[in-house]
């Protein structure tokens, strides 16, 4: 079973559709994506994406949705249960232990989350932690990322996929100097 994992779309879905199409062509077991997991910030985005792509979608609310109480879902898979949450109330900015405990308390072997806009794909204490990053506002110096998760009776497999690697960096914006650079370059004119 293949899961397309996204987070922090914030209402901007163009790259999501690009990545879905490309990753559907190259899924791990040669099968199409079976389900979309949207880890919050713009709960409605997950529903819109699922409807447009005609793929079942599971979404949770994030801090930008006004979520102030823990919102998570548990999804069954051939490899075991998967917890989906945004992560802001589990303190994922600081460490992943609270999220790991929540996953374990719910019998989950994997936990998908967002909030930090930085990708993670790592086993921590027996729980596979997956943060797809953000295709809209990445905070890791890339043009954005998402994750593909394959679940079989043998376990989980998959990884993080970067927009620039699949599309040749066509969306990369050149950095520009800001206020300080302007001061240095024009300081002799004051």
Kindly report, residue by residue over 12-67, the tens digit of the pLDDT: 999 999 999 998 887 666 678 999 999 988 889 999 999 999 999 999 988 676 76
pLDDT for 176: 34
The closest of 7, 5, 2, 4 to 137, measured between CA atoms, is 7
Angle between helices 14-25 and 43-53 (to 10 degrees): 50
pLDDT for 7: 96
pLDDT for 169: 65
CATH for 2-166 is 3.60.21.10
Kindly report, residue by residue over 89-128, the tens digit of the pLDDT: 898 999 999 999 999 999 999 999 999 999 999 999 999 9
The closest of 127, 111, 134, 130 to 11, measured between CA atoms, is 134
């Amino acid at each position: 079973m293949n899961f397309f994992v996204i987070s922090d779309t914030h209402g901007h879905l163009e790259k999501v559709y690009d990545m879905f199409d490309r990753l559907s062509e190259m899924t791990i077991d040669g099968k199409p994506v079976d389900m979309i997991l949207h880890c919050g910030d713009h709960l409605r985005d997950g529903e819109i994406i699922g409807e447009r792509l005609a793929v079942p979608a599971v979404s949770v609310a994030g801090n930008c949705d006004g979520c102030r109480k823990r919102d998570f879902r548990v999804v069954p898979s051939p490899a075991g249960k998967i917890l989906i949450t945004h992560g802001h109330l589990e303190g994922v900015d600081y460490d992943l232990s609270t999220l790991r405990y929540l996953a374990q308390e719910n019998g989950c072997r994997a936990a998908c989350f967002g909030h930090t806009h930085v990708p993670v794909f790592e086993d921590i204490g027996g729980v596979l932690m997956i943060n797809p990053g953000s295709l809209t506002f990445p905070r890791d110096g890339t043009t954005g990322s998402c994750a593909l998760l394959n679940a079989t009776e043998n376990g989980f497999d998959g990884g993080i996929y970067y927009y620039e690697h699949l599309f040749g960096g066509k969306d990369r914006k050149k950095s520009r100097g800001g206020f300080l650079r302007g001061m240095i370059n024009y300081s002799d004119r004051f």
